Amino acid sequence: NTHVGDTVDRKGGSAVEDTARNDTENEELVSTKEDGCCVPAADDDDGACANCGKHGRGAVKLKICNACFLVKYCDVDCQRAHRGQHKKACKQRAAELKDEQLYSQGHERPEGDFCPICTLPIPLLMSDHAVVKSCCMKRICKGCSVAAYKRGMFDCAFCRTSCPVNDADTLAMVRARVAKKDPVAINHLGVSYCQGKLGLQKDMRKAFELWSEAAELGSIDAFYSLGVAYHKGEGVQQDMKKAIQIWTKAAIQGHVDSRHNLGSLEGQKGNHDRAVRHFLISAKMGYEHSVETIKKMFMGGIATKEHYAEALKGYQDALEEMKSHDRDEVKRLGC
């Protein structure tokens, strides 16, 4: 039996989805701090130290607990003395704040998921509906690419650079962007090492190093790939806790696959309410796997009819936002 939240990988097996690592095919958490850290309170003259009762006036500068933001202390000694009494409430509130961030953010897809020419979000899976141009590392939807070809424009539809004719030329272009510290290019090179593409020998350790660098430079896709690496233990020692933390960082920035994977893991742990909340978000962003998963949960008596209806409507609305005449033409031509 397939666990709630499982998705099917491209080999037909039941697995956590890793589709975002396939963008080369067409061409080329913050952990919650414990109550051992405080920051200055914005209103340090309002309230009193939770331990000794001193008010924040004059020389007494109160600092607020950086985990729960519920209490203030006049110094580290008071914070330590109060730790045993405060720890339970602190952890509970910190978890609530973490969930508020997790489920309230990341409902919109990131900039890189939009075609820079037509400015529409690219349908998922993006590797099936767009190409990553090695010259400028822009992801161009097939609708705009085909429209450009029809007008006799055979160079890059975005930057007008001549398209590479072989893997060596493509790799040279990618490396040129990598040398300029382009996070998209660094992530792309990592994917190429992961898949053994562009004439490169498959090397997961090298891929992991590149994804780590790209993530530091802001690549959301790289965060996702790092999560997959930790989840599978590829190129790095397997660490599920780190995988979840990293996917959380990506999900709250709008990464659809990361959001879906968090739902999958919650479902596998039996946390069905939390799983549904994740799947609803990714379904409304246009992810068919999430809709199908909620459908299965509904048929299994885990999700409600209202959940499925909400997911389906949100998914259909997202599809409407991705439609264009040029993309319809691509479908008609079977490109």
Chain centroid to CA 139: how far?
17
pTM, full prediction: 0.82
Nearest alpha carbon to residue 221 among 262, 181, 250, 195: 250
Residue 108, both tokens: 């919109």
Rounded to 5, what percent of the chain is helix, strand, coil? 55, 5, 40
What pLDDT is stored for residue 37 in this prediction? 56
What pLDDT is stored for residue 97 in this prediction? 83
CB 229 within 8 A of CB 216: no
What pLDDT is stored for residue 92 in this prediction? 86
What pLDDT is stored for residue 33 in this prediction? 38
How far, CA to CA in Å, does 196 sit from each of 11, 189, 308? 17, 10, 39
Q: Give the integer Cα–Cα distance in Å for 129 and 6.
A: 24
CB 234 within 8 A of CB 265: no
CATH class of 111-163: alpha beta
What contacts 125, CB < 8 A, 6 or more positions away? 19, 22
* Burial of 271 (C-beta count, 10 Å sphere; 0-12/13-18/19+): middle
Residues in the chain: 335
Question: Which CATH number applies to 184-250?
Answer: 1.25.40.10
Per-residue pLDDT of the chain (335 residues; tens, 9 = 90+): 334 445 323 233 334 444 444 444 343 333 333 444 555 544 445 689 999 988 877 777 898 988 898 899 999 999 999 999 989 989 888 777 888 889 999 999 999 999 999 999 999 999 999 999 999 999 999 999 999 999 999 999 999 999 999 999 999 999 999 999 999 999 999 999 999 999 999 999 999 999 999 999 999 999 999 999 999 999 999 999 999 999 999 999 999 999 999 999 999 999 999 999 999 999 999 999 999 999 999 999 999 999 999 999 999 999 999 999 999 999 999 88
Q: Give the integer Cα–Cα distance in Å for 92 and 157.
A: 52
Q: Give the integer Cα–Cα distance in Å for 61 and 45.
A: 8
> Could you state, in order of their start, the residue ranges of all structural domains in the chain?
48-100, 111-163, 184-250, 254-325
* Burial of 27 (C-beta count, 10 Å sphere; 0-12/13-18/19+): middle
Q: Give the integer Cα–Cα distance in Å for 13 and 252.
A: 28
Q: Indicate the DSSP class of residue 114.
A: B
What pLDDT is stored for residue 57 in this prediction? 78
